[in-house]
Amino acid sequence: MTTPALLPLSGRRIPTLAPGAASFPHHRATLRLSEKFILLLILSAFITLCFGAFFFLPDNSKHKRFDLGLEDVLIPHINSNKEGKQPSGQIIHGQGGHDEHRHREEEESLQSKIRADHERALEEAKEKLRKSREELQAEIRTEKNRLAQDLRKLKDKPLPPVPMPKLVGLSEGDPGDPNVKEKRDKIREMMKHAWDSYRQYGWGHNELKPLAKKGHSTNIFGNSQMGATIVDALDTLYIMGLHSEFKDGQEWIEQNLDWTANVEVSVFEVNIRFIGGLLAAYYLSGQEVFKVKAVQLAEKLLPAFNTPTGIPWAMVNLKSGVGRNWGWASAGSSILAEFGTLHMEFVHLTYLTGNPAYYQKVMHIRKLLAKMDRPNGLYPNYLNPRTGRWGQQHTSVGGLGDSFYEYLLKAWVMSDRTDTEARKTYDDAIEAIERHLIRKSSGGLTFIGEWKNGHLERKMGHLTCFAGGMFALGADGSPDDKAGHYLQLGAEIAHTCHESYDRTVLKLGPEAFKFDSGLEAVAVRQNEKYYILRPEVIETYWYMWRFTHDPKYRQWGWEAAQAIDKYCRVSGGFSGVKDVYSSNPTYDDVQQSFFLAETLKYLYLLFSGDDLLPLENWVLNTEAHPLPIMHRGNLTLPGTNAVR
């Protein structure tokens, strides 16, 4: 007998008869009878399931409602005082017998209703079985069309009006000094070159190959044309006053951006780039389309949280909702910097939609982490979403861990400093990081190493250089009057990262650099000598400039801008380089979307006045997308003068 062949179908394999294999009778009458029998079995099973559910599922009304804590701040337009709700702790006495009798009557009534529903369903099933195959197929087509129409109506349903923050800091940010303004104009010209090149050669693709002059994508976007560069660059265009280019991006999003493709994307990357970028574009411009698109995408990400622990998968299929983790991530673990970098965007989603689900998801993650033991007070980079146990004992403030700590601090900042739980968690984490990871080299450079299996690796990544800005941002509000200490720590990290740039031929920083064997702030391995247009060092320069106004930070930023323009600029945009220690570098031929979202934005802000996106009113997500701080008493309903 011939063995059935296997053919792939949507990631699954199904058996099908190979050519020449024996076949079986499939007369029309036999086929119709089999279909009716199967249909009857399915309907009967469904009815039995529904019948049993009434008796065996728990009564949700007896369960305590999830306490959102900040619900009154996040969704003030939703009335949480439900009708008939008793005040907490209030007990009504003297009704025991009456309540028991009423409960018995309700139960008997419910059983009668279930029996009636069961009988009606059986009659409907019998009626279905009397119909021909063609009639059944026609009914199925009609039902599918009706469901499709309902989904389209739901998709186009407008979001409820919500209290909007009063937006401050959308001025031009004129620096005053003509020399500084000239530098800022140069950064704006670099942004225009990057955008125009993408517009000409990669429009609609996620990123650009500036030498090949064609579109580019990676697996974090599912290899689909989602216009990542367009979404990532929108707020930078708006801030720089490039409104014609902003309008082009908006039109592409209105006409082309949807989330119906059968693609698998990174939850983390799509959240920080797409949801963060769309929300920022909405707050800056007031254009409703950006909010609608952000919410539609967020709904597609929610199935990623369907794990035994509620820790989301790293990847999710936008069409099927099926999630999974990266194969290389410590035995199927989720990554700290990925599931820990959702809070800012999800809080704003709850605020804008009135849907508490987004806030609940991220708060559940925080509460779960709070219950877990942490070796030496440190958070390992890997957590298994099935078992809720830590994976490999590896802690880093760079890749795999970085933005988890950033979002703890920024959750506190974004809440107008009311989320004290986030602040306390941040302070405890930083205390452990100082104790175990931060050291000073023999040459006097402060660095942040990585903790691996109980030992400190004296290596610091370019990604880790963001921490200087984080320490400066968190200095005010530090426990035990340590504000000065953390501002100084931020300055020391900024100095170390500047040295990593200054000790290269191109004056651009390597991906990672070591502090041992007599080498300091220098990359050793060839695969750590590349620069891919990263923003973290310039990000720290900007924060340090805002908090100290020390002119050296603008000088260091200008050095980096000149090096990027000299060594990374090509006719078709900007490209990363493979070796910053070579005078004749090779290009990697990728213009990263974050170059437009972060690197050029931070440079532009560095040479702007402090009245552009003031830190008292705005907080930037980890992709540098600005979101407004949720000031209490500073929320108004659109079209009204009412202040909450």
DSSP string, 342-370: -HHHHHHHHHHH--THHHHHHHHHHHHHH
**Active-site pick, 264, 511, 539, 579:** 511
Q: What Å distances lie between residue 279 and 192, 332, 626, CA to CA?
A: 22, 31, 9
Measure the CA–CA gap between 128 and 269, rounded to whole angstroms. 48
User: Residue 484: in which H helix or E strand, if any?
Assistant: helix 483-502
* Closest to 266 in 3D by CA, of 298, 204, 314, 201: 314
Residue 569: strand pairing partners: 574
Q: Which of 536, 589, 598, 623 is catalytic?
A: 536
Q: Is 622 annotated as a binding residue?
A: yes
Spatial separation of the C-alpha atoms in residues 77 and 163, rounded to whole Å: 7
Using DSSP bridges, classify how beta strands 512-516 and 394-395 pair: parallel, antiparallel or unpaired. unpaired
Burial 135-170 (b: 16+ CB within 10 A, else e): ebeeeeeeeeeeeeeeeeeeeeeeeeebbbbeebbb
522: left (phi over 0), alpha (psi -120 to 50) or beta: beta
Question: Token pair 């064997």 is at which residue?
Answer: 517
Q: Calculate the dihedral angle through the C-alpha atoms of 191, 197, 200, 201, rounding to the nearest 10 degrees.
A: -140
DSSP state of 77: T
CA nearest to 169, candidates 276, 247, 283, 289: 283
Backbone angles phi, psi at 330, to 5 degrees: 40, 70
Give strand pairing partners of 587: 577
Residue 568, C-beta contacts closer than 8 angstroms, at least 6 positions apart: 508, 531, 533, 574, 575, 576, 577
- Give the position of tokens 């597609």: 300
CA gap 576, 592 in Å, rounded: 8
C-beta of residue 641 within 8 angstroms of C-beta of residue 206: no
Marked catalytic residue, from 245, 264, 269, 338: 269
511 is catalytic: yes
Strand ranges for 362-435 from DSSP E: 382-383, 394-395
By CB atoms closer than 10 A (0-12, 13-18, 19+), residue 442 is: exposed
**DSSP code for 494:** H
Query: Hey, what are 339's tokens?
Result: 């599931």
- The pair of structure tokens assigned to 307 is 């794990």
Q: Which of 402, 406, 520, 579 is catalytic?
A: 402
Report how far apart, in Å, the C-alpha atoms of 190 and of each of 82, 198, 299 are.
Answer: 54, 12, 36
Closest CA relative to residue 367, chosen from 347, 346, 388, 392: 388
* DSSP conformational letter for 165: E
Decide if 579 contacts 585 (C-beta within 8 A).
yes
Q: How far apart are CA 108 and CA 358, in angstroms?
A: 39
Structural contact between residues 531 and 508, judged by C-beta atoms closer than 8 angstroms:
yes
Binding residues, by number, are: 622
Binding residues for Ca(2+), by number, are: 622
Please give the positions annotated as active site.
269, 402, 511, 536
